[in-house]
Amino acid sequence: MVDNNTIISIRDVVKRFGSTVVAVNDVSLEIKQGEFFALLGPSGCGKTTLLRMLAGFESPTEGQILIDGEHMEGVEPNKRPVNMVFQSYAVFPHMTVHQNVAYGLKVTGTPKSEIDDRVRESLSLVQLEAMAARKPDQLSGGQRQRVALARALVKKPKVLLLDEPLSALDAKLREQMQIELVHLQKSVGITFVIVTHDQNEALSMADRIAVMEQGDVLQVAPPSELYEYPNCRFVADFIGKMNLFDGTVAGIKDGKVLIRVDEFADQLSNLVLPHNEHAKGEVGIAVRPEKIRLDENEPEDQQVRLKVKVTEVVYYGDESHLFLESTGGARFAANLKNEARDTHAEIVSGKELWVSWRPEDTLVLSS
Amino acid sequence: MENWRNNRLVFAVLALPPTAWLVIFFTVPLLIMWVYSFAERGPQGQINLAINLANYARAVEWIHLGIIWKSIWVAAITTLITFAVGFPLAMGIAFAPARWKNVLLLLVILPFWTNLLIRTYAWIAVLRTRGFLNFGLEWVHDKLSTLFASIGFPELMGEFEALELLYNQKAVVIGLVYVYLPFLVLPIYATIEKLDKSYLEASLDLGAGHWRTLFSVTMPLALPGIASGCLLAFILSMGTFLTPALLGGTDSEMIGNLIARQFSSSRDWPFGSALSFLLLYLTFIILWVRASLAGRKDGPI
């Protein structure tokens, strides 16, 4: 059954290289029309292979790919309604910016008059009209990337595929391009599928993210859900920073779950958490650094609190990252906003503090 | 030791032997030849140092210009055919699976392991009237005759007539294509191999077919390698001596043979030197044209 809104359907796709390497392992995904979708994972997780299968440069060993309801099996890359922005941009060095953008129209026999109009329109989308006569080696990295974008968008694809499009840019430019890409996507209304290993990039741009690891899709969710409700240890650890501990479910009392964590045991016999369906046997206990409150005196109002010692302070300007260790050996990372110029001067290695957090901010992950 | 370049003694010790070798065995003989080219031949073939341009004037006489022109023509045809054969070969190797690449490259340079003279004699054995190629053709002819006879057309194929493949211009071109193929394939292979394959994927992705991609993207981007390879094949075949001497007929003499004759049977070293320098100047002009064409391009290719 194909939903009218679905533009890409990936069904039970497996990709093997040779007989031993499984790059993509039985992946099924539905990507909606107009969506900004991110494939996120560490290098070698199969995300690029999946993208290349959408573009037609690789073919699935098993399973099917449908784009706009059409089976893509045996369809050459030049016949697919998708276009790609390559990691290296692959802007042809022997052609001008104008020729680069016009290339895709020229080779498919678009009339000359239409080509010029569409190239101009596409270049204005990426604010490069003034550069039309330049050769790629006269452009900066960011501008070359815009040429690659304009060259793909001029074809009016049903889906734009982006392979690590921002990885070659410096940090400032990357942040700016993230915002621009999102605006561009909303204005052209084309479905974007982006591959990235940078979680910030995925969180800030995508409508939905699929986290991949070793060929498997672990979780598909909107950014905030992925960040606040990861469904497994890998996702919890991969997205953002996380304090992770091993725990054991000790019992259930009054609808609350009691969990014993060995490193907390000298101060807290059990964590008392709201009911959670994952809370069975061995579990992972996780809490984000920014959810942790730091106090000089024991915070009586907090149910989960531990006395810790500062082991390290890393200064980042806008905030400092503290590394803390409890008497039971539990290690924490916590963030401290530098709200005033003279705040927190007294927090140095060896200082004793209290960490605490709300039980409902605690994640329980099945192992 | 990262600044060994700055250490004059080390630099001198390293640079002296190769420099001395080049000066003694290359620069000095070349200088001697250059001086000879302005001399004149004595009655017994000795060299009389009378400084004049008579040898150069003789070199541009019609009969010699004809030979130079023929050399250029044969070299051009050879380069064209070598490119037509070599470019697909270079592409094939560059896009072959990694484990095959080295084997294929080895096959390309394998002929160098045997002496050129012996390989050229092998071509004689292949091309002559009673050679392997004609034997093969005769065998096919016989089989076809038998076949047609069995279905009632005994006279259809006629008598087999051996092809005259050796001792003519065609044999020279075949031989030259064979000898200089590796020189053309290797530079082209090297550029295509280094080429970012995503250029080709981008072309396909934008809707171009494989042929369009070949002509609009691959070949323009491989142009430096194509130019080097073709130039190498052209220059080497223009100055060739052995192949036309062994495979060519009476009308196949090229400038290399003319030069060789001056130093052997004609015993006219001054004229031979002048011809040699003429060939050298011609080569320099071609290289200069290539360099200025490459320099004019604004791209970093």
CATH of the domain at B115: 1.10.3720.10
Predicted pLDDT at A75: 92
Q: What are the chain A neighbours of B300 within 8 Å (beta carbons)?
A: 93, 137
Per-residue pLDDT reduced to its tens digit, A159-196 = 999 999 988 888 888 888 899 999 999 999 999 999 99
**Whether residue A87 has pLDDT greater than 60:** yes
Handedness of CA A123, A124, A125, A128 (dihedral sign): positive
pLDDT at site B298: 43
Q: Name the residue with tokens 């220059």.
A: B235
Does the model's ipTM exceed the 0.95 cut? Answer: no
d(CA B224, CA B221): 8
Report the chain A residue with the minimal C-alpha distance to residue B215.
A107
- Do A167 and A192 belong to one domain? yes
Q: Please, are residues B275 and B255 in contact by the beta-carbon 8 Å criterion?
A: yes
List of chain B residues whose C-beta atoms are within 8 Å of the C-beta of residue A152: 205-206
Choice between A266 and A106, residue whose per-residue pLDDT is larger: A106
Taking all residues of chain B, what is their mean pLDDT, rounded to a whole number? Answer: 89
Residues A116 and A148 in one domain: yes
What average pLDDT is seen over chain A? 90
* Number of domains comprising chain A: 2
Q: How confident is the model at residue A3 (pLDDT cuts 50, 70, 90)?
A: low
Does the structure show a pLDDT above 90 at A117?
yes
B198 pLDDT higher than 90 = yes
Span B144-152, average pLDDT: 86
Q: Do A153 and A198 have their domain in common? A: yes
Whether A281 has a pLDDT exceeding 50, the answer reads yes
SS3 (DSSP) at B203: helix
Q: Residue B14's pLDDT is what?
A: 87
State residue A4's pLDDT score: 64
- Examine residue B223 and state whether it is found in any structural domain, yes or no: yes
Q: Which range marks the domain in which residue A54 is found?
A: 6-237
Nearest chain A alpha carbon to B200: A90
Do residue A352 and residue A269 come from a single domain? yes
In a domain, B5, yes or no: no
Note whether A103 and A227 are same-domain residues. yes
The answer to whether the CB of A236 falls within 8 A of the CB of A211 is no
Residues 6+ apart with CB under 8 A from A256: A272, A273, A274, A275
The answer to whether residue B123 sits within a structural domain is: yes
B121-139 burial code (b ≥16 CB/10 A, e <16): eebbebbbeebebbeeeee
Question: Last residue of some domain: A237, A272, A298?
Answer: A237
| Mean of pLDDT values over A109-120 | 92
A45 and A157 inside one domain: yes
In-domain check, residue A165: yes
With contact defined as beta carbons under 8 Å apart, do A289 and A241 qualify? yes
Q: How many CB atoms lie within 10 A of CB A68?
A: 17
Is some CB atom of chain A closer than 8 A to the CB atom of B226?
A: no
pLDDT band for B300, please (50, 70, 90 cuts).
very low
Categorize the per-residue pLDDT at A297 as very low, low, confident or very high, splitting at 50, 70 and 90: confident
pLDDT digits (tens, 9 = 90+) for B70-110: 999 999 999 999 999 999 999 999 999 989 999 999 999 99
Contact between B199 and A94 using a beta-carbon 8 Å cutoff: no
Residue with the bigger pLDDT between A367 and A111: it is A111
Least confident of A88-102, A156-170, A289-303, A310-324: A289-303
Q: How far does B233 lie from chain A, in Å, by closest CA?
A: 25
Which residues, in sequence order, are CB contacts of A153 under 8 Å at separation 6+? Answer: A83, A122, A125, A126, A160, A184, A188, A190
Burial of residue B263, with CB atoms counted within 10 A of its CB: 0-12 exposed, 13-18 middle, 19 or more buried: middle
pLDDT for res A48:
94
Q: Sign of torsion, CA A280 A284 A285 A291? A: negative
Domain around B78: 62-128+165-296
Candidate from A87, A92, A135 with C-beta closest to B298: A135
Contacts (Cβ under 8 Å, ≥6 apart) of B159: none
- Kindly state whether residues A101 and A192 are assigned to the same domain: yes
Please indicate whether, in this complex, the C-beta atoms of A88 and B203 are within 8 angstroms of each other: no
Averaged pLDDT for residues B232-251: 91
Has residue B273 got a pLDDT over 60?
A: yes
Overall domain count for chain B:
1
Q: Kindly state whether residues A310 and A231 are assigned to the same domain.
A: no
Q: Are residues A209 and A257 in the same domain?
A: no
Q: Which of A186, A216, A237 is the last residue of a domain?
A: A237
CA dihedral A346, A349, A352, A353 (to 10 degrees): 70
Identify whether residues A93 and A118 lie together within a single domain.
Answer: yes
Q: Report which of residues B299 and B228 the model is more confident about.
A: B228
In a domain, B171, yes or no: yes
pLDDT on residue B297: 55
| Domain stops at, among A191, A222, A237 | A237
